[in-house]
Amino acid sequence: MKKKRDLEKRKKFILELLGDPVYRPMRLRELATLLRLKKEQRKELYDVLDELSVEGKVSMDAKGRYEKVTGKWKMKKKNTEDAGRNTKGDTAEGIFIGHNKGFGFVEIEGAEEDVFIPEENTASAMHQDCVRILIKDGQKEGRRREGVVLKVLERGMPEIIGTYQSNRDYGFVICDNPKFSKDVFIPKKDSKGVKNGDKVVVEITDYGTNNKSPEGRIKEILGNCRTPGTDILAIVKSFGIPSEFPERVIGQAERVPDHVLEADMEGRLDLRSLLTVTIDGEDAKDLDDAISLTKEGNIYHLGVHIADVSNYVQGGSALDKEALKRGTSVYLADRVIPMLPERLSNGICSLNQGQDRLTLSCLMDVDADGNVVSHRIAETVICVDERMSYTDVKNILEDTDAEAKSRYAHLIPMFFQMKELSGILRNSRHHRGSIDFDFPESKIILNEAGRAIDIKPYEANVATKIIEDFMLLANETVAQEYCKDEIPFVYRTHENPDPEKVESLLTLLHNQGVDVRKTKEEISPKEIQSILEKIEGLPNEAQISRLTLRTMKQAKYTTECSGHFGLAAKYYCHFTSPIRRYPDLQIHRIIKDNLRGRLSRPGRTEHYRGILDEVAQKSSVCERRADEAERESDKLKKAEYMSYHLGEEFEGIISGVTGWGLYVELPNTVEGLVHVNTLRDDYYTFDQESYELRGDLTKKTYRLGQKVRVRVEDADPLLKTVDFTLAEDEVEQ
């Protein structure tokens, strides 16, 4: 009886596997490898497949590959340009998103979900191609729509970055992006002397077909994959991030003076006698914000002083065009790719200690409740008294460093006033519903060879919070003035989350035992904040917080002042970082034109209205590109670090649960996957309602926030992945 029950469980598991949209037909050996079965267990798999074949639920093709019998229409025609013309269904156009197993998905603008394209129906489509597809009729309820690529309309990746592998008379390049699933053939005449193991940029000359590999020529050799820095350079190139400044831009930067000219100070408010400090990380070189603070009675006089980069980067100049092209500085594991040349970003535009600097200042009077009772935005000149680090300010305020207290004794009263005001502002934002996702960032330590030798969580402290609170207040204050005056401007916008995603989140929270009220109405920031307070202290707090964050939309730049959901702010912009963000630089120009009365000149307002939509759109795209590159850089170095610790065991927390396994996060922020087929002695089912993985036989359950002990099974810097297995009997139920 037990044998029969076990067989039925295994049949159900295999049938679900073969019916998954991402599954492609495999032979018995390939299935056994996928399931990590030992040789003696393969007979059991064969028995299961044999039973399913007899029942007509599974079929085997001429090559011995197994697939689920669904009765669906299958494409048989070889000519994919004409394929499907006589088959019922709708056509659509969209962007093909590849997968390393050969199949793909097509994203259609305006559609709620993408369309699955099986490997045999992809034609010659590659990742990021614009394609026309046929969407097949007869979609089953609960299953993703399926389609066939009819035609590639436009190629999305004319170049790829990858690793060269040589043969005697030719070579192949394996793309770093696994979504570009085919290796690119390189004829010897187009190899440019490349060596085995080199990272290269390849220009694709022929995209091939289902039966023929793409072909290309070597355009640039980045260096051997083992050479320090080559791995990160490959990421830079793959995202198309400009890493070298054109000669014209460098020449223009060289002509900028290295000190403030007397003529540039004329007409500015002179604040050089005001006690002013910068507070940044120890390694920071581009210091674009300084602060000052005094107190009279119950009123705090807060000054946020921002480098006046626009004085040196004129609109429409070569410097300005290059800055817009880059959109933002990019901070990678082993380097910074600045938006502006270092002569500016680390020199005349950086608020260096003891040097006169031109600034735009937001001078605010703040009451004991955190309200800005009056403010002034002015062109100023300052001279920073001290270049402080977050660590020193934190140690002074927490009384943990006597030497720092002695060295900066004259600043201590101001630092405690800053802490006081920071707390008031934070409480004020919290009262109105501002959402605080406080996740530790990763600090990756590299050696001289560029190898990751340590990874630590880098958490916010009292000093980082002071700067964050003051910058947020300045950004809101500036945005409010320019929105109310209806002056063309660039705002930082964060839209309300989609109700459907919120509904799914509330269902999940309810099933996790969190007391939430289900509603189909639009959720408010205050309600999100209330949820985060309810889960505070729970074992799965960090994991649920991340799931909550994923329901939020991505912030972007717009010309409409529609508010910031996450901050519960009606007005918000980016004013405080013109060295590293283009929107800040652009609005500085508008502010200065307004202060000098130039916006009333004919055509000036129209000029800004004509360019700001493009500025907002380009800046949003560049920001997303930088974020993705930074994430890829961190993932690569984390995988590299863990590759030095294969076989070692660590304590971790389950940070994600899916049908294919458990994501486990270590205290050092590294996250890896425990594949479901490595879980022992059972078949596991993913319960989407409760977000749990449950054993069918043992009833063992894995859930968010659960402590587990894992062993490092594999770590692949090329794929940027880390694989764990659960250590024996080390799971906390």
Report the distance separating Cα 327 and Cα 623, nearest Å.
Answer: 7
The reported pLDDT for the residue numbered 547 is 79
What is the distance between the alpha carbons of residues 687 and 198, in angstroms, rounded to a whole number? 45
What is the amino acid identity at position 110? G
Predicted local distance difference test score (pLDDT) of residue 213: 85
Name beta bridge partners: 492: 557
> What does the chain come to in residues?
733
Ordered mean pLDDT values, 10 residues apiece, the chain (733 residues) = 67 81 74 71 75 72 68 35 47 89 88 86 90 81 80 91 88 89 91 92 88 90 90 92 95 95 95 97 93 97 98 96 97 95 96 98 97 98 97 95 95 97 96 84 91 90 96 98 96 90 79 69 82 79 80 92 94 97 98 95 94 96 94 95 96 90 94 89 78 84 90 92 82 48
Beta partners for residue 443, in sequence order: 456
Fold of the CATH domain 159-227: OB fold (Dihydrolipoamide Acetyltransferase, E2P) (2.40.50)
CATH T-level topology, domain 89-154? OB fold (Dihydrolipoamide Acetyltransferase, E2P) (2.40.50)
Give the separation between CA 441 and CA 295, rounded to whole angstroms.
Answer: 34
**Residue 299 to residue 303: CA distance in whole angstroms:** 13
Residue 311's identity, in one-letter code, is N
CB of 393 closer than 8 Å to CB of 277: no
The architecture that CATH gives domain 645-731 is Beta Barrel (2.40)
Say yes or no: do domains 89-154 and 159-227 share a fold. yes
Give the pLDDT of residue 78: 33
Q: Which of 225, 204, 226, 223 is nearest to 215 (CA)?
A: 204
Rounded CA-CA distance 59/474 in Å is 66
Give the separation between CA 160 and CA 179, rounded to whole angstroms.
Answer: 11
The pLDDT score that the predictor gives to residue 75 is: 33
Instruction: Record the tokens describing residue 52, joined without a space.
Output: 């399913």
Do residues 722 and 640 lie in contact, with contact meaning Cβ atoms separated by under 8 Å?
no
Cα dist. 159→102, 127, 171, 478, 628 in Å? 19, 11, 17, 42, 18
pLDDT value at residue 623: 96
Nearest-angstrom CA–CA distance, 455 and 565: 32
Output b/e per residue, 348-359; b: 16+ Cβ within 10 A.
bbbbbeeebbbb
Q: How far apart are CA 97 and CA 81, in angstroms?
A: 19
Locate the domains of the chain by residue range: 2-68, 89-154, 159-227, 247-492+564-630, 498-551, 645-731
Report the C-alpha gap between 371 and 531 in whole angstroms: 26
Element housing 397 (H / E): helix 390-397
Q: Are 234 and 220 in contact (CB under 8 A)?
A: no
Residue 66: predicted pLDDT: 79
| Pairwise CA distance, residues 474 & 397, whole Å | 23
- The number of CA neighbours under 13 Å toward the Cβ of 396 is 25
- For position 513, what pLDDT does the model report? 74
- Looking at the domain 2-68, which fold is it? Arc Repressor Mutant, subunit A (1.10.10)
Rounded CA gap, 216 and 213, in Å?
10
| Strand pairing category for 170-175 and 159-166 | antiparallel
